[in-house]
Copies of this chain bind each other. A is one copy, B any other.
Amino acid sequence: MSIRIPYDTVLETAKQAFLHMGLPEEKAARCAYIHTENSLEGVESHGLNRVPRFAEYVQKGYVDIHAEIELVGAKGAVENYDGHLGIGVLNAAYCMDRAVALAKEHGIGCVALRNTTHWMRGGYYAWQAARAGFIGISWTNTESCMPMWGSKKPGVGNNPFCIAIPRKSGPIVLDMAMSQYSYGKLGVTRLAGKQLPFPGGFDQDGNLTSDPGAIEATGRILPTGYWKGSGMAIALDLAAAAMANGKSGVELDREARGSCTGCCQIFIAYDPYLFGEEEEIQAKLDDRVAAADATEPDRPGGHVTCPGERTAATRQRNLEQGIVVDEQIWAQIQQLAAGDMNVTDISSACVLDNMQEEEKK
């Protein structure tokens, strides 16, 4: 069951939770802000749901809350950082800020981060670039959780890829994992006694199926677009590891520390007004989006939208009515905020995952 909690209460409670995990004041406030922001924008799966999970990461030693990100290399428009297994969301937000600063100077800026931890919602950093008025591109590598095309066993991460385009009337932001559905989505659908809207993996007999339980049993989740998502996932992994001089997905597999611990992330920012007036470029983008949204829907009453377009409405609704949070997750965050660290992560199994993607179907 989901409930709605006022924004300020969420932010303050989350901050207390992070403080009790041992984070210093400023880091706790930033972490609370980012997790709250992700839920505020409708991506609960990678927002508040991840607060108890983060507590677990800290306890397991996946994340070193006292580590500081370190500049280890730089050339021209590129910087390379070592995240020292510090807090993933803070490392990532820092790097996108640096990419934007580099883009201001060089037209384009790229930051390659290695040895970091889970960034929770990839789209956050793309939004961050867009809010600063820049085009943002980012991706991460992860452990193997998806079979490559033609394979039975997990061989590649589902390596999310994000692109954001700034618009005064609302950024367009793609936040796309390389698997058709997340494991979270499979769990939620199974618990609801439902089938997936489209086949999401293979059953024991090697047939494509929309039955979430059958896919969970084999672990054979389907790459987005079959061979395409599989190929893109491996390309993103290789590029991230080379660009950041960090660990590839298979090195993460061997270390088996779990949940992206030690992964590489890439952050690219580009100044969209380099060669055109801001007003002109904005008009061009609005024109493009308006035409897309005006295409004939496939069913009466349907609406075509571009990725990220509905986020403003979701934000507004959540600001007015309170942020949607799973009841059990909220109880755990309150428990953490009260200093009781004895929580078990329930977010992967029992709450709505991948809300943002859900919204688009």
Given known A76-B77, A298-B151, contact A232–B176 (CB-CB < 8 A):
yes
A256 within 8 A of partner (CB): no
Which one of A39-47, A101-109, A317-325 contacts B?
A: A101-109
Residues in B neighbouring A297, C-beta threshold 8 A = 150-152
Chain B, residue nearest A242 (CB): B272
Given known A225-B228, A281-B245, contact A77–B107 (CB-CB < 8 A):
yes
A193 within 8 A of partner (CB): no
Tier of interface size on chain A: 35 or more
- Give A95 Cβ to nearest chain B Cβ, in Å: 14
A306 touches B75 (CB 8 A): no
Partner of A224, one of B105, B224, B304: B224
The copy count of this chain in the complex is 2
Could you say which of A135, A241, A304 has the most chain B C-beta atoms within 10 Å of its C-beta? A304
Chain A interfacial positions (CB closer than 8 Å to B): 72-73, 75-78, 80, 105-108, 110, 112, 135, 137, 147-156, 163-165, 172-174, 176, 180, 198, 202, 206, 208, 224-229, 231-232, 234-239, 241-245, 248-251, 253, 268, 270-272, 274-276, 280-281, 284-285, 287-289, 291-292, 295-299, 302-307, 357, 360-361
Please name 27 pairs of A and B residues whose Cβ atoms are closer than 8 Å in the assembled complex, sorted by A: A72-B275, A73-B275, A76-B107, A78-B274, A108-B108, A148-B292, A150-B298, A151-B295, A151-B298, A151-B304, A155-B295, A173-B235, A174-B235, A176-B232, A198-B226, A224-B229, A225-B228, A234-B292, A235-B306, A238-B289, A239-B270, A242-B272, A245-B274, A245-B275, A245-B276, A248-B287, A251-B284
